[in-house]
């Protein structure tokens, strides 16, 4: 390898905070400066704010009484604390909302400069697995100062985001598989400035992808630890081949010189959030894939997806021609990313899938529920300012216990995009977040068809074009421009769907669309949560909606809304990102970007959805300096919570760290085996202890 003394990495001095999100490093490495550039969605599809007929009650719209609503047949992820028949009522849905065994006193919000994990009194935490931990029998121990691509390929990757832990059937609760995806890399803190650029690229690439690792514990009262060399352990790398399913498989739009079949795609990129299906597979969203490609940048599609001709942040195009779509034979390579990926964590030899039926955009993730009809429904947000919310409805029906069949369900079905209509007068949506006179941000909505019964519902576009250029197709049918949909997650208790709109600092600025009832704040710094109630069945094309909360810090004078719960009695919360539910129906929200909003560390929050305390927000934990809280898992029945801690200390450098999470090796001391004095993204378990 020829040494390159100066790393071609120009973002390192670019520290400081940017207008829309957290640090400039996050913006450059994670999102390819999505918030610094022009808004990708310049379409003029209009928003119809007022509809006089939008006054029907949600109950009437459902055609259900309260008991009827609970009788909607709900699916249940096998991993969920709501263990139940997958296609039937969840146990919790039958019983209604209950009291959680996970009792805690909310922590005060934590200063953004604190380099520690803060948990409630009576709880403790420890890492389950960290960046660099060896996964396979022959994997070397992590050696911070002597990193190689060959070692990293056998170790846990970087910046774990979506995470789930699924008990291995028949293991009596003492064995599980952990899935994590690895969204992106922070080269500035992973590697010394002296490391040759080729080596930086190679190790960084090997730290992307996905990981599956087996966990073990002595009993349910003991924390999990990972098992090096276990049978199910697997790394998914840039060389791993994914089978493209659905109408785009074999299309000319995805063929390249290296894959003339248009069906075999190497690697997955920008994996952000995800979901676990009722049949026990994992979905992961390819989000900011555009940042990995140099492109002509001139076509309408390139512009709409943020593909530009500038050198990419990591410059993998220097090693592999497919990462520059101007290279002969690779014009379609970027069309092979931006999909929902499905993997089977219980079969380390299985071929992972990319499902074209769910459309191509910056998928935050996808979450599946089984409708009363038996069809499966997947919700997915496009995480970009002024982009859209989508829903997929499977062609075929779920079959209890037929895992092979169920693993085909995401390959064919209908695709829709959401249009929200408010019911309050336009003059009452002031852009401050102040609640209109009817007491609620609410209204009705439609799922506008993009693909129905295998046919395109978009004039002038084929099914293949709709699914590859989904943003352009959606622009033509007039959906609602949202404030960056992150996780979209249906509650297995009620069937209601929760949408985390993380922020949108550009709303109402310049020529950008101003506040609407569903995105009611201009220069939306702190985000909000939308609550959707489908009309009768999860496959419906109409719904009602309301905002569960408008986030912020009431103590700092922010205009907020917490479904009527007193604002002086909530934990301040900003930039909601990932969502999860506990076994008794409470919503849990992890945040990403609170330092740029309320100026406090990111964290994990419990939100009560039912009863007199609906809207109460209680902070459970805070993550270390510069970190984002991802992938929450709430095993409340075991009094245990897991989060992925992503990009701790990312505003620092390798030579001048800003975080020592999770090993916290004291200066001058000798690290214990496997530990280093440097920040490492990690999955942690918080438990009573
Ligand atoms: Fe990777 Fe949408 O956050
Ligand atoms: Ca209203
Ligand atoms: Ca996210
Ligand atoms: Ca985010």
Instruction: Please give the Cα distance from 429 to 426 (Å, whole number).
Output: 5
How high is the pLDDT of residue 531?
98
3-state secondary structure of 108: coil
In tens, the pLDDT along 581-625 reads 999 999 999 999 999 889 999 999 999 999 999 999 999 999 999
How high is the pLDDT of residue 76?
31
In 453-541, DSSP assigns E strands to 455-456, 482-483, 485-490, 497-501, 528-534
How high is the pLDDT of residue 334?
98
* Percent of the chain residues past pLDDT 70, beyond the cut: 89
How high is the pLDDT of residue 91?
57
For residue 25, the CA-to-ligand 3 centroid distance in Å is 16
Angle at 163 between CA 158 and CA 165, to 5 degrees: 130
Answer whether 364 contacts ligand 1 (Cβ < 6 A).
yes
- Among residues 601, 364, 564, the alpha carbon closest in space to that of 483 is found at 364
Answer whether 214 contacts ligand 1 (Cβ < 6 A).
no
Whether 54 shows a pLDDT value over 50: the answer reads: no
Whether 336 shows a pLDDT value over 90: the answer reads: yes
Residues lining ligand 3 (ion), CB within 5 A? 272, 486, 577
Answer whether 575 contacts ligand 1 (Cβ < 6 A).
no
Whether 11 shows a pLDDT value over 60: the answer reads: no
Whether 56 shows a pLDDT value over 60: the answer reads: no
Answer whether 464 contacts ligand 1 (Cβ < 6 A).
no
For residue 670, the CA-to-ligand 1 centroid distance in Å is 36
Answer whether 272 contacts ligand 1 (Cβ < 6 A).
yes
| Position in ligand 1 atom list of the atom nearest CA 161 | 1
Question: Other C-beta atoms within 10 Å of 2: how many?
Answer: 6
Question: What's the token pair of residue 216?
Answer: 């073990």
> Which three-class secondary structure string do you get for 651-664?
CCCCCCCCCCCCCC
In tens, the pLDDT along 484-512 reads 999 999 999 999 999 999 999 999 999 99
In tens, the pLDDT along 414-472 reads 999 999 999 999 999 999 999 999 999 999 999 999 999 999 999 999 999 999 999 99
Whether 64 shows a pLDDT value over 90: the answer reads: no
**In contact, 416 and 541? CB cutoff 8 Å:** yes
For the CA of 184, the nearest ligand: 1
How high is the pLDDT of residue 32?
86
State the average pLDDT for the chain.
Answer: 90
| Position in ligand 1 atom list of the atom nearest CA 288 | 1
For the CA of 485, the nearest ligand: 1
What pTM was computed for the model?
0.92
Answer whether 384 contacts ligand 1 (Cβ < 6 A).
no
| Position in ligand 1 atom list of the atom nearest CA 272 | 1
User: What is the average per-residue pLDDT within 345-351?
Assistant: 97
| Position in ligand 1 atom list of the atom nearest CA 30 | 1
3-state secondary structure of 549: strand
Whether 53 shows a pLDDT value over 60: the answer reads: no
For residue 296, the CA-to-ligand 4 centroid distance in Å is 27
How high is the pLDDT of residue 140?
98
CB burial of residue 198 (10 Å; 0-12, 13-18, 19+) = middle
| Position in ligand 1 atom list of the atom nearest CA 383 | 2
How high is the pLDDT of residue 40?
87
How high is the pLDDT of residue 90?
53
Q: How confident is the model at residue 288 (pLDDT cuts 50, 70, 90)?
A: very high
User: What is the average per-residue pLDDT within 6-35?
Assistant: 59
3-state secondary structure of 572: coil
**In contact, 212 and 348? CB cutoff 8 Å:** yes
């Amino acid at each position: 390898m020829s040494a390159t003394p100066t790393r071609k990495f120009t973002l390192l001095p670019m520290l400081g905070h940017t207008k829309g999100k957290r640090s400039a490093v996050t913006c450059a490495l994670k999102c390819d400066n999505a918030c610094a550039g022009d808004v990708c969605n310049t379409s003029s599809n209009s928003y119809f704010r007022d509809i006089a007929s939008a006054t029907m009650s949600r109950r009437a719209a459902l055609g259900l009484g309260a008991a009827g609503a609970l009788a909607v047949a709900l699916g249940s992820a096998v991993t969920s604390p709501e263990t139940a028949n997958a296609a039937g009522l969840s146990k919790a849905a039958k019983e209604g909302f209950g009291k959680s065994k996970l009792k805690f006193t909310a922590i005060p919000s934590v200063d953004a400069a604190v380099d520690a994990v803060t948990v409630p009194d009576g709880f403790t935490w420890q890492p389950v697995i960290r960046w660099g931990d060896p996964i396979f029998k022959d994997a070397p121990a992590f050696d911070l100062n002597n990193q190689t691509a060959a070692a990293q390929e056998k170790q846990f990757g970087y910046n774990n985001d979506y995470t789930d832990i699924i008990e291995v059937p028949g293991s009596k609760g003492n064995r599980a598989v952990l899935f994590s995806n690895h969204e992106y890399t922070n080269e500035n803190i992973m590697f010394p400035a002296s490391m040759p650029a080729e080596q930086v690229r190679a190790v960084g690439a090997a730290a992307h992808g996905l990981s599956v690792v087996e966990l073990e514990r002595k009993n349910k009262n003991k924390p999990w630890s990972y098992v090096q060399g276990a049978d199910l352990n697997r790394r998914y790398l840039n060389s791993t081949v994914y089978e493209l399913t659905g109408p785009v498989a074999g299309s000319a739009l995805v063929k390249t010189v290296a894959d003339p079949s248009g069906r075999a795609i190497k690697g997955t990129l920008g994996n952000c959030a995800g979901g676990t299906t009722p049949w026990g597979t994992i979905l992961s969203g390819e989000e900011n894939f555009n940042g990995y490609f140099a492109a002509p940048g001139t076509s309408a599609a390139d512009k709409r997806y943020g593909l530009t001709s500038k050198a990419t942040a990591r410059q993998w195009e220097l090693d592999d021609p497919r990462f520059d779509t101007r290279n002969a034979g690779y014009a379609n390579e970027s069309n092979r990313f931006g999909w929902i990926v499905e993997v089977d964590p219980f079969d380390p030899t299985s071929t992972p899938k990319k499902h074209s039926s769910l459309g191509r955009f910056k998928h935050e993730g996808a979450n599946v529920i089984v409708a009363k009809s038996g069809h499966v429904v997947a919700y997915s947000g496009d995480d970009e300012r002024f982009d859209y919310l989508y829903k997929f409805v499977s062609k075929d029906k779920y079959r209890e216990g037929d895992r092979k069949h169920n693993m085909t369900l995401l390959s064919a079905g209908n695709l829709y995009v959401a249009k929200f209509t408010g019911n309050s007068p336009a003059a009452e949506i002031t852009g401050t977040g102040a609640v209109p006179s009817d007491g609620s941000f609410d209204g009705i909505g439609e799922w506008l068809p993009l693909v129905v019964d295998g046919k395109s519902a978009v004039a002038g576009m084929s099914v293949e074009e709709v699914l590859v250029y989904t943003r352009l197709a959606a622009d033509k049918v007039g959906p609602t421009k949202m404030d960056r949909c992150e996780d979209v997650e249906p509650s297995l208790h009620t069937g209601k769907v929760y949408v985390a709109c993380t922020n949108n600092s550009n709303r109402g600025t310049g020529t950008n669309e101003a506040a609407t009832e569903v995105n009611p704040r201009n220069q939306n710094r702190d985000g909000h949560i939308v609550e959707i109630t489908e009309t009768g069945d999860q496959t419906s094309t109409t719904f009602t909606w309301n905002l569960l909360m408008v986030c912020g810090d009431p103590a700092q004078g922010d205009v907020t809304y917490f479904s009527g719960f007193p604002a002086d009695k909530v934990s301040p919360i900003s930039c909601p990102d990932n969502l999860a539910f506990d076994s008794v129906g409470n919503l849990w929200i992890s945040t990403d970007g609170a330092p740029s909003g309320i100026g406090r560390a990111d964290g994990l929050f419990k939100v009560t959805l039912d009863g007199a305390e609906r809207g109460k927000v209680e902070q459970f934990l805070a993550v270390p300096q510069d970190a984002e809280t991802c992938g929450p898992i709430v095993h409340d029945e075991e009094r245990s919570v897991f989060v992925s801690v992503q990009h701790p200390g990312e505003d620092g450098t390798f030579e001048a760290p800003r975080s020592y999470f999770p090993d916290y090796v004291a200066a001058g001391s000798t690290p214990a085996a496997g530990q280093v004095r440097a920040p490492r993204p990690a999955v942690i378990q918080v438990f009573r202890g």
